[in-house]
Amino acid sequence: MIPVPLLVCVMAAWCAVYLADTLLRTSVTHRISYESWLASRGLMLSPFHLRWQTTMFNRLFAYCARINPRALYLFNSGLVFGIVAMLGSVVLLVKTLQQTLAQMTTDNPRMGGQQTLQVVVPGVNLPTSQLVYFFSALLLSGVIHELGHAVAALREQVRVNGFGMFVFVVYPGAFVDLFTTHLNLISPTQQLRIFCAGVWHNFVLCVAALAFLFLLPILLFPVYYTGAGALVTEVVQGSAADGQRGLSVGDIVTGLEDCPVRGVEDWSSCLSHLSHTPQTGYCVPVSSLQPSWAHGRAFKRLDGTMDCCSNNSLTDLCFSYMKPQGRNGREREYACMPVRKMVTGTRVCRSEADCAAHSNAPSVCVTPSLENQTRFIRVTHPPNTHMLFVGYPPHLQYSVSLTNFVPRLGFLHLDLPIFLETFCKYVVSLSGALAVVNSVPCFALDGQWMLNALLEATLVTVVTDRQKRELIGFFLLLAGSALLAANVALGLWMVTAR
């Protein structure tokens, strides 16, 4: 469901802006000065839409167009990419629509994250803590998109009237105003280079952000190092990792049981491995099994597993092990033992043979007797003692925020690499999404003008009647618009109704 407080705040803000605009426009004393002020600053205001346009960047666009006059092959590459992207976007939308319909007809929760494209609604499937990343990356992607159109237009001798930005409800964007007369005088191939330049620059930005993301460890190497473990940057208060003997901000996790952790990816893979494999045991010398420990009668839990601790102690845990009986016999025993004393400095085992192979003294493999899906995990974070966790591994995973980057100097902020990583990921996702969506042959998108120019360039000798070519283009645009509208409508329903 859409969060009501966020919706109320957005509606209230727009109502206040629109009310102030209406009062100033109807005021006898302020109307002329207010409208002059808006016009001088290139501002236009309508319900849920604020637009700003300026010519101050025209010289910058002209400079970019003159940097390398021989770079025509770059825009020709953009033309080819735009045509391929137009076809690919249709295939992608058809696939996404099939996935959405399949998800609507199944109750399998695993189908939820399998869509290639997803509608993003702030506050619903986008956490409010990520809004700054989202809108910043969206605005950057939009500006680069329009920069591509402007530079390509100037290279084709089409005048740029101005550049602008807008906010529609909560979504920011950008646009360029091209001189239509010049645009209509150039050839369809030249038009294609202009119309395809936006999605081409989005693709280039996506590749650049992806390269920066992969090179980040090298770029930050002088001040941050990686491969030493996963650095804790945040611990959720009251979570399983919180507490005096839990994890703290600045701790470096180097292992989960016998699974080494060199970074965040290892942390996730180790937890996944531990949650899908049987509980690990620990090699304990037979001589250390003190008779004073409670060898009470084991009893079954509701899920069929065994327990032997009835004192609800936070320091004791029920362990099971195979006790030798006679010459060849063995009997499973259960004992309620102090957990930290049992597992400190012991080797991990999964069978009695593991203990016999690495120990001279007689030892047994003791295993925590826990409920199904529950795991006992030792978290190594030197120089501190092990953090001992009992519970569902996903709870531990979501209890902390981690990063691969460890600062070399104490004054460096722990969150700087996280900020750069997250922002780059949003740029890759949103710039790629803009390239896909704008390539769709749909009314009011770049795909409309790309398709019209493509038909004029390719069908002029096959379909000589211009009206017939326009009719073909109209039906193709109608189909593309219906496909995009179906994806958006069903995507919104899936996000907000479930």
pLDDT of residue 477: 97
pLDDT in tens, the chain (498 residues): 567 787 888 899 999 999 999 999 998 889 999 999 999 999 999 999 999 999 999 999 999 888 876 778 889 999 999 999 999 999 999 999 998 888 887 765 455 556 778 888 877 788 888 999 999 999 999 999 999 999 999 999 999 999 999 999 888 999 999 999 999 999 999 999 999 999 999 999 999 999 999 999 999 999 999 999 999 999 999 898 998 889 999 999 999 998 999 999 999 999 999 999 999 999 888 877 765 455 557 788 887 888 888 767 778 888 888 877 666 667 788 888 888 888 888 888 888 888 877 667 788 889 998 888 899 999 999 999 999 999 999 999 999 999 999 999 988 999 999 999 999 999 999 999 999 999 999 999 999 999 999 999 999 888 889 899 999 999 999 999 999 999 999 988 888 776
Rounded CA gap, 486 and 93, in Å?
9
Rounded CA gap, 199 and 146, in Å?
9
Facing residues of 349 across strands?
281
Rounded CA gap, 297 and 90, in Å?
66
> Does residue 265 carry a catalytic annotation?
no
Rounded CA gap, 230 and 397, in Å?
12
Q: How far is CA 275 from CA 381, 401, 481, in A?
A: 20, 19, 45
Facing residues of 157 across strands?
none
53: phi then psi, degrees, rounded to nearest 5: -135, 140
Burial (0-12, 13-18, 19+ Cβ within 10 Å), 464? exposed
Residues 308 and 352: beta-carbon distance below 8 Å: no
- Of 35, 146, 421, 470, the active-site residue reads 146
Q: What domains does the chain contain, in order, with CATH numbers? A: 1-47 (no CATH), 49-216+421-497 (no CATH), 227-277+377-404 (2.30.42), 280-369 (no CATH)
pTM of the complete model? 0.86
Q: Report residue 165 as tokens.
A: 């930005």
Rg (CA), the chain: 32
Residues 320 and 367: beta-carbon distance below 8 Å: yes
pLDDT of residue 97: 93
pLDDT of residue 359: 67
Residues 254 and 229: beta-carbon distance below 8 Å: yes
Q: Closest by alpha carbon to 230, among 260, 249, 252, 255? A: 252
Q: How far is CA 489 from CA 111, 180, 388, 398, 442, in A?
A: 18, 33, 47, 32, 15
Crossing angle (nearest 10°) for helices 446-458 and 72-104: 120
Burial (0-12, 13-18, 19+ Cβ within 10 Å), 355? buried
pLDDT of residue 345: 80
pLDDT of residue 382: 92
Residues 327 and 338: beta-carbon distance below 8 Å: no
Listed in sequence order, the residues at least 6 apart from 402 whose beta carbon sits closer than 8 Å to its beta carbon are 230, 231, 232, 233, 253, 264, 267
Report how far Cα 310 is from the mean position of its chain's Cα atoms.
45
Rounded CA gap, 376 and 354, in Å?
19
pLDDT of residue 108: 57
